[in-house]
Structure 1
Amino acid sequence: MKKIIFVLGLGLFSGLAMAQNSAVDEVMMKQVQKDKEKSDSDIKDEKSAAKAATWMDRAKTYQDIALQYSSLDSSAVIEAYDAYKKVIELDVNKKGAPGRLSKEATDILAGTEGNLYNAFVKQGAEHYQGQNMVKALELFQRAQEINKKDTLATLYGGIAAQQADKKDIAIDEFNKYMANGGKDPSVYYGLAQLYRADNQFDKAIATLEKGLEQSPDNKDLKSEIVNIHLASGNEDMAIKQLQELTAKDPSNVTNLVNLGILYDNINIKRAGQIRELQEKIGATGGQADKMAKQLADEKDKLNIYEGEIKRITGLLKKQPKSADLKRQLDEVTASRDEAKTNVAKYEADVKAMAEKANSPDKAAAEKELADLQAKYTATKKDILDSYQKALAAEPENYDALFNLGVIYFNEAVENKREIDNMDMQEYQKSGKVVEGKVCGLFKKAKPYFEKAVKAKPDMEEASSTLETLNNVLAQFEGKKVECIAAQ
């Protein structure tokens, strides 16, 4: 729910309440009290209650109370309404045609005469201020019966329904407000939020677009269209909208940061897809060679164990009662069996990898991988560009600083995986260079986290990440790794 709607409503209600306070006159109020007591007595009298004039006097007395003296009866407007209905019922001639009072009452209930509509709105506002949202809603809806083209009571009705957690009624009230020509952009925003909460994204977008027809330059409505596209999973449309917004207002930091986050989210997904494809085609760190080496090593172990079993068995023939030789044989036999299991597993892995390498889908997978990597690189440029533009406009923007730091930090972690997967021979060949690049990426991330912490010292995510980063860099320094500056 959009809080601006509630603030707006309370402001308008306060104005209505002030009108009442400024109009109260003690002498007149006492006279109205007497008129009320007389009317209450008259309708209990059988003869008086049969007269349309009695009910017309009652209607006007209670309408006056509703408009000026609500302290006498907080629901006086309902009594007035019912009294007007009674006038229409009683004031008919022998032919059933309405009389003068009946016609007057009919015009008042139709809103062409009198102030009954205002009385409903005013007492509804008073109930709203008293936090009786259900009663307020009832009175606002009754006001709409009198003025069906109204926007004021539909606005108030929608607000009261929201506060009373009657979402369906709030939606109906705000739609009436819009249909009757209401233009307040906060109502369009609030209604879109109600649709969004129910995952009715098409209706939410349509509502915001209607709002933009009334308020073409409203930034909140434009931004919320982007948010709803995101909530619905339509990232492409969200990016398109944000690109248009940043083109029109290149100094809007919020839009620039949001655009960077959108690009960032897309690349996070792509990174996962790239990893899956690399594993599928065996493109990560020479997996096929590693598997073949593991198989060869395990076969060597198996041969050693087989030879050792043969040797110990020979000794046991000479010393059949030796407990130590029996123990050794049991241990070596267990190791031999484990090696057999590993050989079978690695043979299956090597075979599966070979099948993947010779798969007719490999070429298609390699093309898909190349395309994804190209898109990843291009989008990374868009990410960096968006955040850098945001920082150019607002150098201490926390989100842009933190997110830039995360980009380089995550890239360093991703590169470190390559080192972790290396065997000793590979590490001796290229590990130091890769470590230098990893260190360089961590170093590049550091100033962004430092500035983010300075911008918002209370943000735990930045301070804890910076602490982790400093520990990592200390380890590199302890290992005397020469950091290679990241581009």
Structure 2
Amino acid sequence: MKKIVFALSFLVTAQLSQAQSVMDLANDAQCQTQENLLKPMLKSSEHAKRGLKPTTWIRLAEGYANYTTSCGKDSTSAKKAWDAIHKAQELDTDGDNTEDIKAVMTGDLMYSAVMNQGVAHYNVGALEKAVELFLIGMEVQPADTLSTFYAGIVSNQLGNYDDAVKAFTQYIDVANGRDAASYYTLSVIEKEKGNLEEAINWLKRGVADTGDKDIQGELINTYIKNEMLDEAVGDMENLVASDPTNTNNLLNLGILYDNQEENQKALDIYSKVLEMDPDNYDCNFNLAVFYFNDAVEIKKEVDAMDMKTYQKEGAAIEAKACEQFRQAKPYFDACDRIKPGTAEIEENLKSLNNVLTQCK
């Protein structure tokens, strides 16, 4: 049996190898066909008279684009197609070929050529060449989300922030793209430039357009880091008023009240969130931390007492601290149930249980 399996396995491998060889031969033949078609077009472009005709360069642009999509051996062929159609545009001084030039310049064939070759460069880590083609793709079909998004991502990776802003802005405003990463990246770039107001505006647009939880969190963090809590509260109160059932907005409003030390308002909001979503991990965690930190602050009063004061007042204050520690426990327990095995929660619960043992 083993010999039969081996023989079959060898046969399959041989058949696959043979099939691959057939495919390679077919690809080589296709490439040869495209190269043969290109040769007279190139010759015409180099001719003293024919090289001055827009139609010569229109055909060459189409030839290079077809070569790219059908063969792709020349890693610069898509750029050559783009350059050729621009040469046609330059030579079309009387405008007789405007429509034909536009059809090639904005057509699916040109788009496929530049994007396919751009992705091929991207996949092998040639980011500079890739982004050059993605940026061309933005010009070919401005309302396409793929070229604008890829151009934004790779430009940002390379530190070409002007191109990243241009690409992501076009992705959002022209192509109607709504990936949260675009808003976040635009905000980060504007922050780096020192344009805080513009950074906040991008985050606010991201919240309005996508409702993304991480974008909302970044907006809140930006307000807090820049001591703009009043503005943050105003924005978030408006969002809550417009959609009172949105637990993300409610939670963020609670966090803002928490940071402003408006404790009762924060607790009221957190309670509303848990009424609608009892398994909201972030809300349970915030409540657990709220009560735990409050207990710690009360305990500090006891630790600072001298013996005489402690004997007189200490027991009552310790009892108050213990009550706050007890208030924290069900929320930590809920976090542990919602996301079991979370190291942070396990550590906090261990510390809390030790404290509660002492309280007994």
TM-score, scaled relative to structure 1: 0.56
1:127 aligned partner:
117
Deviation of the 1:454 alpha carbon: 1.9
Counterparts of residues 395-414 of structure 1 (less than 5 Å): 395-414=278-297
- Structure 2 Cα separation of the partners of residues 43 and 171 of structure 1: 37
2:81 aligned partner:
80
The Cα offsets for residues 353-390 of structure 1, whole Å up to 9 and x where unpaired, read as xxxxxxxxxxxxxxxxxxxxxxxxxx111111121112
1:354 aligned partner:
none
> Does residue 242 in structure 1 map to residue 236 in structure 2?
yes
> Does residue 195 in structure 1 map to residue 190 in structure 2?
yes
Deviation of the 1:202 alpha carbon: 1.1
Deviation of the 1:170 alpha carbon: 0.8
> Does residue 37 in structure 1 map to residue 39 in structure 2?
yes
- Structure 2 Cα separation of the partners of residues 172 and 197 of structure 1: 16
Q: Secondary structure at the match of 1:36?
A: helix
| Cα distance change, pair 466–426 in 1 and its aligned pair in 2 (3 A) | same
The gaps in structure 1 that reach 5 residues or longer are: 1-23, 93-97, 268-378, 478-487
Runs of 4+ residues deviating >6 angstroms = 24-29, 46-49
2:201 aligned partner:
206
1:219 aligned partner:
211
> Does residue 185 in structure 1 map to residue 178 in structure 2?
yes
Counterparts of residues 454-469 of structure 1 (less than 5 Å): 454-469=337-352
2:353 aligned partner:
470
Deviation of the 1:265 alpha carbon: 2.1
2:21 aligned partner:
none
Q: Secondary structure at the match of 2:187?
A: helix
Give the residue type in structure 2 aligned to 1:473. L
- Structure 2 Cα separation of the partners of residues 155 and 166 of structure 1: 14
Q: Secondary structure at the match of 2:212?
A: helix
Q: Is the 8 A contact 2:34 2:67 kept in 1?
A: yes
Give the residue type in structure 2 aligned to 1:416. K
The Cα offsets for residues 257-297 of structure 1, whole Å up to 9 and x where unpaired, read as 22222222222xxxxxxxxxxxxxxxxxxxxxxxxxxxxxx
1:321 aligned partner:
none
Q: Secondary structure at the match of 1:185?
A: coil
| Cα distance change, pair 421–253 in 1 and its aligned pair in 2 (3 A) | same
Give the residue type in structure 1 aligned to 2:248. T
Q: Is the 8 A contact 2:78 2:113 kept in 1?
A: yes
Q: Secondary structure at the match of 2:260?
A: helix
1:61 aligned partner:
63
- Structure 2 Cα separation of the partners of residues 178 and 241 of structure 1: 22
Give the residue type in structure 1 aligned to 2:79. I
The Cα offsets for residues 83-119 of structure 1, whole Å up to 9 and x where unpaired, read as 4566678x79xxxxx57xx842x5555x2x4355544
The gaps in structure 2 that reach 5 residues or longer are: 1-25
- Structure 1 Cα separation of the partners of residues 167 and 30 of structure 2: 37
| Cα distance change, pair 123–405 in 1 and its aligned pair in 2 (3 A) | same
Q: Is the 8 A contact 2:148 2:171 kept in 1?
A: yes
> Does residue 171 in structure 1 map to residue 172 in structure 2?
no
Give the residue type in structure 1 aligned to 2:187. A
Deviation of the 1:171 alpha carbon: 0.8
1:261 aligned partner:
255
Whose radius of gyration is greater, 1 or 2? 1
| Percent of residue pairs bearing the same amino acid type | 32
- Structure 2 Cα separation of the partners of residues 232 and 29 of structure 1: 59
Counterparts of residues 293-332 of structure 1 (less than 5 Å): none
TM-score, scaled relative to structure 2: 0.73
Q: How many residues align?
A: 324
Higher RCO by CA contacts (8 Å cutoff, separation 6 or greater): 1
- Structure 1 Cα separation of the partners of residues 266 and 273 of structure 2: 11
| Cα distance change, pair 82–259 in 1 and its aligned pair in 2 (3 A) | closer
- Structure 2 Cα separation of the partners of residues 128 and 146 of structure 1: 13
Deviation of the 1:156 alpha carbon: 4.8
| Cα distance change, pair 165–408 in 1 and its aligned pair in 2 (3 A) | same
Deviation of the 1:35 alpha carbon: 1.1
Deviation of the 1:424 alpha carbon: 2.5
- Structure 2 Cα separation of the partners of residues 50 and 403 of structure 1: 72
- Structure 2 Cα separation of the partners of residues 209 and 432 of structure 1: 49
- Structure 1 Cα separation of the partners of residues 204 and 336 of structure 2: 39
Of the three residues 310, 313, 316, the one matched with 1:430 is: 313
Aligned CA RMSD, in angstroms, stands at: 3.7
> Does residue 71 in structure 1 map to residue 72 in structure 2?
yes
- Structure 1 Cα separation of the partners of residues 175 and 51 of structure 2: 43
Q: Secondary structure at the match of 1:422?
A: coil
